[in-house]
Structure 1
Amino acid sequence: MVRRSDALATESVTCLNAALAHLRNIWEEIGIPEDQRLQRTEVVKKHIKGLLDMMIAEEENLRQRLKKSIAVCQKELHAVCQELSLAVCLPEEDCTMLQLEKDLRTRLEVLLKEKKERMAKLKSLKEQDEELCDILCTTGYSIDVDAVPSIEQLDAFCAHIASLNEEKERRRAEFVATKKKIILCMDELDQLPDTSFERDIVCEDEDAFCLSNENIIGLKTLLQQLEMKRTQNEAKCSELRSQIINLWDWLKISDEERNAFAVNMVGSRAKTMQTLQTELERLEVLKLQNMKNVIEAVRQELVSYWDKCFFSSEQRQAFAPYYEENYTEDLLQLHNLELNRLKQYYQTHQQLFEGVWKWEENWQLYLGFEKKASDPNRFTNRGGNLLKEEKQRTKLYKMLPKLEEELKVQIEAWEQEHCSQFLVNGQNFMGYVSEQWERHKLEKEREKQERQLKKNRLIEEEMLYGSAPKTPSKRKVNPANTPGKLRKPGQSTCTPGYSAKKLPRHGFNERNKENISHLSATAVSGASIGFSTQRNNLSVNSVATTYSEFARELSKVSKSNCQSQVLNSTTTNIHT
């Protein structure tokens, strides 16, 4: 395919030939001699050749500039690629000189722009680093500011700046919070900043404070010192208040005086501490003047803690100063030491004591239900309380062993930890519980024996008088009898067909009195012997009877009442 430039060159040669031919025709027509024609043709040749040479020189110059530019661009591009840590891009093989120069120049401009941007970013990051290092009092980031940084280096530098900003904000927040606490502590302590460091913290602008590690540590140290001092003041004020309250209680200080002083019972300022100290000194003087009353008040408090700690009489008697009557300062000191020891002992074992108290309360409640269960007057109730009481008693009966087991586990763990025995009323807890159950059963047996004795007495009286004395307890109504009618004297409520013999009063002689005394003594003696025998055979693990068992026993007694009367009456008649 013929290029257009080649066709244009051929056309230029044709035009040149036509122009020379035209010139020759003109010269011939004019009559220019041959020698002049040669001269004129030589001039035309020289002019055309000079023009072409000039054009060729210009184009050659262009080619040289292109070569030079290509070489320079390649060199600079290679250097920039090394600075930017980029791979050098090679030109295409079939690329012309102009295209090569243009591509290299364009690529170079792009890389130079990127270099400029990286250097500008590096400068900005460096300035931020210097500012942050000045605020945080740290060393600057290690990087060559003259070399073009790589993208990875810039990213690492940015992350470092971000971490410094986070650290600055953290320290700033910590400084502000600590400063507020320091000011609050100083205000509570009535203390002014003394050192230059304290003045920089309290008085200077927050932005002007250097957030160095040393300053932050100094802030924390100062705050700890102030808080420790405040804690000491609070502890001292609390101790003073405790002593004042104790002396108020011991000295029976009126509520008016206490309320007038109540404004000083809060806070821990130096002024408050001084006021508390003054009040304590005043009360100490009153204490010396009322030593006996004070010691008696301390003894009352001692008794309350003895009760809380379940101290036995032996443990209480071990504190001999309690029984002294020489009321001196030394005696009061001994009482105070013992009271403080008891308070510490109670606080240390408060959880165990509260558990024992819980068991004791439930135990007393259970005993109350048991007492109600043995009261015959409870059957007059028509409000459903019997069922409620029985449910509560059953619930307590189930809960007490669980509570005992829990306390047993806790106490055993405590005893293993402290290598000592936990005592309740001078004995271990389970022994104390077993003793309570044993006493309860013995009491039940005693009441049972008393009821049996009372029953025997009623039977003896009926044998003597023909009828038993009327009791306020409700008797079972016989459906065969008319409701509301009472049995006449001498009429028996026993098995039909049997009539008890009524003894006349005028025949009641000394022999009958002796028989009655003999029968009563025999019944009482037999009941006592039976009670003693049953008591010896009691088991620690035995428990009280239930409500249903009590009801069945009551039913048995009511059914066997008539039979007992017949048997005893018959026996009496035989002896008579």
Structure 2
Amino acid sequence: MDRRGSYISSQLIVINDKLQLLYDEIGISEDERNTRERNLYSAVSHALEQQVEEVTAEKESLYRSCHDLREQLTTMMAALQDVQDLDLSCGVGGDMEIKFPLMSAFESLTKKHEELKGLYSQRYQKAHELFENLRMFSTAMEGLDFESDIFALNPDTLSLTNTNIAALEAEVRRLSEEYERRVRIVQADANQIVSLWAQLGTSQHNIDRNILACYKDKPEMLGLTNAHLEKLSAKKNILQEEKDSRLRRLSATKAAVQHLWSKLSEDEAAVKSFDRANRGIALHVIEAYEQELARLNEKKRDHMHIFIEDARQTLQRLWDSLYFSEDEMLEFTPAWTDIFTDASLAAHESEIARLEQLLQERKPTLALIDAYRELQEDIVELEQSQQDASRLLSRGPGRRDPSRLLREEQMRKRIAKRKPKIMNDLMTTLRKWENENGRPFMVNGERFLDILREEEVAAKVTIYCLDGLMTV
């Protein structure tokens, strides 16, 4: 028996001896003594058992506290895998069982818990804030593809390593940039929509009040999901298409009106007044121009000869540019009659459109012909200059031009250099054109390729020297 057991036993003997003496002195019967002793022993036994229960409860409570600390430490250490020098050996055995005495284990575990709690709480709070941001972005922008698997994890069991925190931060930054990008898109589209409403003169009942209320200061309230963006973009595109349609309609009408104003010599003050009163692309502006065009067309019928004469001048410029012969010009008979009707004007305009298309098609070939003709003019000018003997004499106070011979030499060299190339390019182009079109290329009624061949047979390339004409 240990010291504490001997002490309790001796105390019980002393107390019992005192009780027996008192019983004797009192004269208590044997049966009464037995009853009182049983009650006493029962009370002592109950007190001891109660004490055992209290101490047992204390032990279990302390054990549970140690167990909870150990679980928390295990969670924190698992989350803080990148933290060096983490050790859970204090207060527990190698098999993770809590070691006795429990008070020492509790103190050791509490100390380790305090050491990790600050860092863990800091990272845990950071992770939760990042998760909340991710959820906010996910809700605001629906249907996003997340680059990281971290979002699928439970933040309460998430590893709180710096790598994972950094991954969360990177994902939040990416989504934040996407959020800002969508805000900019929504604001730009909403701004354009409001601007288009103003330009198109949209009526109040056709204006979306929500867009009008949010487009300046809180565009995100218009929605940032793909569906919201697509809906807003579609609304903008419809308005833009309407604007483009009106611009085309107004541009064509306005051009026709301005042409008729000029041709009919309309009052300048009235024209300016009309123009000032009809700005923009609202429907009433377009309708005003269309009404003005109808008025001018009616007036044009009374002055048809002006428009037909103008069309004939345009025809003449095109004929000259295309080097048409007189017979080719006479083929368009409406230009040579005294008929001034709508039908005649329409025929003139149709012929002008045909010749403009023809001019565009022949443009490369005509450019070479123009260069050839300019070169021929230079040759004639040089020949005339060389035939002027006075250029070598000193006459009058002005005396002779000392740079004239130099200019002639420079022109002669330029002609000698350019003519072979122009002739070659022109003949190649003409042959190709005739092969593709199946007919000769005519200039003023003559096949131009024949003219070039005649010149080539006669002289090839002619240059002029100081002594006169020399053929090579």
Indicate whether the TM-score tops 0.5: yes
Offset at residue 91 of structure 1 (A): 3.7
Letter in 2 for 1:279: E
Counterpart residue identity of residue 333, structure 1: A
Counterpart of 1:325, as a letter, is D
Is 1:437–1:541's contact at 8 Å kept on the other side of the alignment? no
Alpha-carbon separation, structure 2, partners of 1:178 and 1:271? 26
Residue number in structure 1 paired with 2:231: 218
Give the equivalent residue in structure 2 for 1:546: 464
Matched, 1:382 2:390: no
| Identical amino acids, percent of aligned pairs | 20
Answer whether contact 2:243 2:281 (CA < 8 A) is retained: yes
Q: Distance in 1 between matches of 2:132 and 2:194?
A: 35
* 8 Å Cα contact 2:419/2:461 also seen in 1: no
Q: Does the 8 A contact of 1:390 with 1:547 survive in 2? A: yes
* Cα distance change of structure 1 residues 149 and 366 upon mapping to structure 2, 3 Å threshold: farther
TM-score (norm 1): 0.55
1-structure distance, mates of 2:211, 2:380: 69
Distance in 2 separating the partners of 1:101 and 1:409:
105
5 Å matches for 1:347-426? 347=360, 353-354=366-367, 356-380=369-393, 381-403=400-422, 420=437, 425=442
Secondary structure at the counterpart of residue 214 of structure 1:
helix
Say whether the 8 Å CA contact 2:128–2:155 is kept in structure 1: no
Contact 2:193 2:239 in 1 (8 A): yes
2:211 maps to 1:201: yes
Equivalent of residue 159 in structure 1, options 150, 159, 170 = 170
Question: In the aligned structure 1, how far is the partner of 2:142 from the partner of 2:256?
Answer: 51
Name the SS of the counterpart of 1:546 in structure 2: strand
Q: 2:77 aligns with which of 74, 77, 81?
A: 81
Rounded to whole Å, the distance in 2 between the matches of 1:188 and 1:66 is: 79
Check 1:122–1:415 CA distance in 2 against 1; reply closer, same or farther (3 A cut). farther
1:289 counterpart = 2:302? yes
Q: How big is the shift at 1:191?
A: 2.5
User: TM (normalized to structure 2)?
Assistant: 0.65
Match of 1:34 in 2: none
Determine the C-alpha separation between the residues in 1 that align with 2:251 and 2:201: 18
Aligned-partner Cα distance in 1 for 2:433–2:112: 85
Distance 1:550 1:265 in 2: 70
**Alpha-carbon contact 2:130-2:168 (below 8 Å) kept:** yes
- 5 Å matches for 1:135-534? 135-138=140-143, 142-145=151-154, 147-151=156-160, 152-192=163-203, 194-195=205-206, 198-206=208-216, 207=218, 208-248=221-261, 250-251=263-264, 268-313=281-326, 315-347=328-360, 353-354=366-367, 356-380=369-393, 381-403=400-422, 420=437, 425=442, 432=448, 435=451, 438=454
Q: CA-to-partner distance for each residue in 1:434-464, whole Å, 9 max, x for gaps? A: 72685xx6xxxxxxxxxxxxxxxxxxxxxxx
| Equivalent-residue separation in structure 2 for 1:410 and 1:167 (angstroms) | 58
C-alpha displacement at 1:260, in angstroms? 6.6
SS in 2 for 1:301: helix
2:48 alignment partner in structure 1: none
CA RMSD of aligned residues (A): 4.7
Give the number of the structure whose alpha-carbon radius of gyration is greater.
1
Q: Say if 1:241 and 1:265, in contact at 8 Å, map to a contact too.
A: no
C-alpha displacement of 1:384 = 1.7
In 2 relative to 1, CA 400–225 (structure 1 residues): closer, same or farther, beyond 3 Å?
A: farther
Question: Which region of structure 1 is more displaced relative to structure 2, 230-239 or 362-371?
Answer: 362-371
What amino acid is aligned across from residue 372 of structure 1 in structure 2? S
Aligned pair in 2 of structure 1 residues 200, 411: CA closer, same or farther (>3 Å)?
Answer: farther
Deviation of 1:301 (Å):
0.8
Equivalent residues of 1:175, 1:216 under 8 A apart: yes
Q: Distance in 1 between matches of 2:78 and 2:239?
A: 60
**Cα distance in 2, alignment partners of residues 330 and 315 from structure 1:** 22
The residue type equivalent to 1:542 in the other structure is: K
Compared CA separation, residues 222 and 304, structure 1 to 2 (3 A) = farther
Instruction: Flag the 1:168–1:75 CA change in 2: closer, same or farther, 3 A.
Output: closer
Partner residue in 1 for 2:6? none
Per-residue displacement from partner, 1:29-78 (whole Å, max 9, x unpaired)? xxxxxxxxxxxxxxxxxxxxxxxxxxxxxxxxxx9999998776555433
Give the aligned residue type for 1:231.
D
Gaps of 5+ in 1: 1-62, 442-537, 554-576
The code of the aligned residue for 1:120 comes to Q
1:178, 1:220 within 8 Å by CA — same for their partners in 2?
yes
Query: Secondary structure of 2:468's partner?
Result: helix
Does structure 2 conserve the Cα–Cα contact (< 8 Å) formed by 1:193 and 1:202? no
In structure 1, how many angstroms separate the alpha carbons of the residues matched to 2:222 and 2:233?
15
Cα separation, partners in 2 of 1:300 and 1:220, compared to 1, 3 Å: same
Say if 1:317 and 1:194 are closer, same or farther in 2 by CA, change over 3 A. Answer: farther
Structure 1 residue 298: Cα displacement? 0.7
* Contact 1:295 1:332 (C-alpha < 8 Å) held by counterparts: yes
CA–CA separation in structure 1 for the residues paired with 2:259 and 2:439:
29
Distance 1:339 1:227, change over 3 A: farther
How has the CA–CA distance of structure 1 residues 161 and 339 changed in structure 2, closer, same or farther, with 3 Å as cutoff?
same
> How far apart are the structure 1 equivalents of 2:78 and 2:60?
27
Q: Distance in 2 between matches of 1:110 and 1:356?
A: 96
Conserved? CA contact 1:315–1:426, under 8 Å: no
Which amino acid in 2 is paired with 1:143? A
Residue 296 (structure 1) shift: 1.9
Q: 1:345, 1:81 → 2: CA distance?
A: 87
